[in-house]
Chains A and B, each alone.
Chain A
Amino acid sequence: MSAGWRRFVSHRLAVVGLALIALLILLAAFASQVAPRDPIRQDLPSALAPPSREFPLGADEFGRCILSRILYGARLSLVVGVLATAVGAVTGILLGLLAGYFPRLDAPVMRAMEVLLAFPSILLAIAIVAALGPSLVNVMIAVGLRSIPSFARLTRSMVLSLKELEFVQGVHALGAGHGRVLFRHILPNSVSPLLVFSSMQVATSILLAAILSFLGLGVQPPTPEWGKMVSDGRAYLLDAPHVSLFPGIAIFLTVMGFNCLGDGLRDALDPRMRARVSE
């Protein structure tokens, strides 16, 4: 067993996080087998029914089973969280590599990143989705765009320190091209911090996507989406608080899972952080 894995499994919260995410992925993958009912089928006589054997987490205003909608909604939240982070990661890492490696590109790329950072992220996401129209793809673009500057800055800072190291200079001396140095030598040595940052970004992306749906700018009804479910339940807070309560708990547990995983990965993969944080 490697030292990194041992450090990871000794971090209790990290193991909890990994277990939560694994469970969520399983439930999302087998939602059609696990869900007690069709998540879209309306059953108006059961509208706002409290939790019972028939509806384990109650029913919403259209009599739809909240548990089933949460299980199907998990697919959407995971897909949005992971793909939006991937959009931000691929673009940001590429820009960071270029800015850190080629001094001429540094200033223009990083100034552009500063502009994106100074732009209020929620307003930018709302503006993009409001402009392009509410859809799953547009939410992913809006959420992914927000994380580009952070990935670019992190990658650039690592490239700046790595490119001065002897092994990189050596590869250069042996005649390797810029592409080979960047993608075969510098990038693989930057994977650990990027992996840690990505897992935390998935959590942030899921939260931001839920905010957009809550504001009515995400996936449109009747597709089950956690943020929208919380929003729809607001009108029935007095009589049926469970309509908002349970989807919110689902978002919380998912985000918590990725945050714990990120904390654990950081402690396991980054010895400097470990020394400081886990004391």
Chain B
Amino acid sequence: MGGYVLRRLWQTIPVLFGVSLLAFAVMHVVPGDPVRLIAGPDAPESVVERIRFELGLDRPLHEQYWSFLSRALRGDLGRSLRSRAPVADEILARFPATLELTTASMVIAVIVGVPLGLIAAVRRATWVDYVAMTTSLSTLSMPVFWLAIVAIWLFSLQLGWLPVSGRGGPLWQWDGLRHMALPAATLATTSIAITSRLTRSGMLDVLGREYVTTARAKGLPPVSVVTKHALKNALIPVVTVVGLQYGFLLGGAVVTETIFAWPGVGRLAMSAILQRDYPVVQGCVLLVAVLFVMVNLLVDLLYGWLDPRIRYE
């Protein structure tokens, strides 16, 4: 398995290289001058040129990219054009908030989505199934930003149960949990829908297999047949999608973090794009890509635990 992991890591290098090149190109080739944004519209040309020189933005593009890449390989992502703070520090300061939010939302998605899909499959073609699947399709169709606004209106403004925005204390404190509840639940809705639909279709597939019929014929309790024999085998597509979603969201749930003023990586990336803070954008994008690739690999390795017939070559 060690060889497989190494080969997979080797294969990710061109992808990460491509992502860094794309992030660099998108932010640099297009019109718009970050130096003008920093210096202000009335700054004299001499000041603008001095700032451009200091930031290294007067050098040819390929030199700028090479400098970014060689420093990134040593763990140095440069400095923010706006705050002048190291980009790695800016990202690391916000990453715990994003990790907290994403993990909470994924836990909610699995705790709600898997049982929902399981019940829908076991109670196939009954009202339980129809309600569960129509609800999940509806949830998939709801714009997250709108759902967030409706949640704020209901739970914060009307009922006054939960705070409107911001991050409270640590999660083990009541205040931290109250601040986390709305953004995590909102972020979880799409994942709940996807997880429940995949669990249902996976379970339907597995419940018709011969080994499940055998387990039933042996007189095993129905709960045991469903949870021990069927569910584990139905979970592979669920693990794949939950893993991929987790990987993506770790890079920042841009919309949710913006609406709830959650101080995470998504908000940092969003404001950096609007301010043309190249190093911060590149740093955030690289982080997302690395996390995405790593989570992908972890998901692949989990397959072996879920289905021992899978071998890594």
Contact = CB atoms under 8 A, between A and B. Distances in A.
Pair from one complex: yes
Nearest to B274: A130
Contacts of A238: 157
Most chain A beta carbons < 10 A, residue from B23, B32, B145: B145
A13 B135 CA distance: 12
A115 interface: yes
Contacts of B16: 118
B19 A211 contact: no
B262 interface: no
B269 interface: yes
Interface stretch (B56-64, B83-91, B213-221, B250-258): B250-258
A230 B270 CA distance: 19
B30 A248 contact: no
B285 A120 contact: yes
A87 B245 CA distance: 25
B145 A126 contact: no
Interface stretch (A66-74, A169-177, A252-260): A252-260
Interface in A213-238: 214-215, 227, 230-231, 233-234, 237-238
B143 A115 contact: no
B257 to A, nearest CB: 11
B141 A211 contact: no
Interface of A is mostly: helix
Contacts of A276: 201, 204-205
Nearest to B124: A279
Contact of A127 (B14, B27, B288): B27
Interface string B248-288: 10011011001000000000011001101000010011001
B169 interface: no
30 contacts: A13-B137, A111-B14, A114-B18, A115-B15, A115-B18, A120-B251, A120-B288, A123-B269, A124-B22, A127-B27, A128-B26, A131-B31, A132-B30, A203-B141, A211-B145, A214-B255, A230-B146, A231-B145, A234-B149, A237-B149, A244-B146, A248-B143, A251-B146, A252-B138, A252-B146, A255-B142, A256-B141, A259-B140, A259-B141, A276-B204
Nearest 4 CB-CB pairs, A to B?
A: A115-B18, A248-B146, A131-B30, A256-B141
